[in-house]
Amino acid sequence: MRVLSRAGALLLLLAAAAFAALWIAARQVWLELGDPALLTGYCLLAVMLLLALFTARKRLSMVPLGRASVWLTLHVVGGLLAVALYWLHVGAFWPTGGYEIVLALLFYLVVVSGAVGFVIQRVCPTRLTRSGEEVIYERIPAELSRLRDRAEAVILACAEKSGSDTLARHYDEVLHWYFQKPRFFFGNVFGSLQSKHWLENQSRALARYLNASERDFQRELYELAEAKSEMDSQYALQSLMKWWLFCHVPPSAALLVFAVWHLIVVNLYAI
């Protein structure tokens, strides 16, 4: 998996050069007995506003504003620059003062959630392509319902043809729970084979109690269960890709509001 493209490396070098130039300028202001916090603060706010444009770009995906991958690279490099500018502005990893601590908490929450989101967006799409044909997230409940209906149809057909209720009782006691809704969420998120191992163990335990005609229905039933396992994996990964935004976008908006208010207060006291 390639993390940084050639264009990304170039942008990273440009960001490093910009930070170095700002550090030199801030030091010069300090040597002249000025306040470098004003310079670094305005630059940090400008970078944060530019980062917010990435969210606007995602909402305007139908407008030809450049490739999404380019915007993502700009967002990542801009985020790294924002972290460096924040430490230059504050002068420490952790500030003092109640208001500044709130700003720091919001800032680090945005940074951490952004880093997690970057990993999610790099890993999850690749894993989705391995879990069968991708299904639109909103259609997954309907697909799960379809699989459940087919599984229950297999159970009825088995009872009618074999005259035995062994497979039906197994479904009621074990697989009914499994087919009701997505299962093994965290196992699917972390890429474990928990779901598949569970199905294999249940199938082996059941096989010894079935006759030859029932085993044909068992194979069909567990093929549907395996298809549901793939659907569960898609549900978990797509949910993760959607839910992480709630940990990143609202704190980002709150951080911008607090940062603008901080700028207003600083300028009012400077008058």
Q: Could you read off the pLDDT of 199-208 as tens digits, one per residue?
A: 999 999 998 8
Q: Please indicate, yes or no, whether residues 221 and 188 belong to a single structural domain of this protein.
A: yes
Q: Does residue 37 or residue 133 have the better pLDDT?
A: 37
SS3 content of the chain, % helix, strand, coil (to 5): 85, 0, 15
If one counts the domains in the chain, the total is 2
Q: What are the distances in angstroms from CA 117 to CA 46, 75, 110, 120?
A: 22, 12, 10, 5
Confidence tier at 2 by pLDDT (50, 70, 90): low
Same domain, 231 and 250: no
Is residue 74 domain-resident?
Answer: yes
- Cβ count near 33 (within 10 Å): 6
Residue 264 has pLDDT above 70, yes or no: yes
Residues 19 and 118 in one domain: yes
Please give the mean pLDDT across all residues of the chain. 86
Say whether both 177 and 222 belong to one domain.
yes
Residues 254, 237, single domain; the answer is no
Q: What is the pLDDT of residue 59?
A: 59
Residues 76 and 143 in one domain: no
If asked whether residues 193 and 215 sit together in one domain, one would say: yes
Q: Which of 25-39, 48-62, 171-185 has the lowest mean pLDDT?
A: 48-62
The reply to whether 169 falls in a domain is yes
Check residue 70 and give its pLDDT.
74
Q: Are residues 110 and 173 in the same domain?
A: no
> Is residue 102 situated within a structural domain?
yes
Under 8 Å CB-to-CB from 40, ≥6 apart: which residues? 22, 26, 85, 88, 89
- Residues 64, 220: contact at Cβ < 8 Å? no
> Which comes out higher in pLDDT, residue 64 or 32?
32
pLDDT for residue 4: 58
Is 0.85 topped by the overall pTM?
no
* Among the listed residues 116, 73, 111, 75, the one whose alpha carbon sits nearest the alpha carbon of residue 93: 111
What pLDDT score does 175 carry? 93
Is 216 domain-assigned? yes
Same-domain status, 256 and 223: no
pLDDT at residue 77 tops 50? yes
pLDDT at 188 > cutoff 80? yes
Mean pLDDT of 141-162: 93
Q: Do 14 and 91 lie in a common domain?
A: yes
In-domain check, residue 1: no
Q: Kindly tell me if the per-residue pLDDT of 1 is higher than 50.
A: no
Are 184 and 205 in the same domain? yes
Q: Are 201 and 261 members of one domain?
A: no
For the residues 188-194, what does the mean pLDDT come to? 89
- What pLDDT does 177 receive? 94
Instruction: Give the domain range for residue 50.
Output: 6-132+245-270
Which of 99, 84, 27, 102 has its CA nearest to residue 266?
99
Q: Give the integer Cα–Cα distance in Å for 218 and 216.
A: 5
Least confident piece of the model among 62-76, 96-110, 111-125, 250-264: 62-76
Task: State which amino acid sits at residue 201.
Answer: N
Residue 7 vs residue 209, higher pLDDT: 209
The whole-number pLDDT of residue 106 equals 93
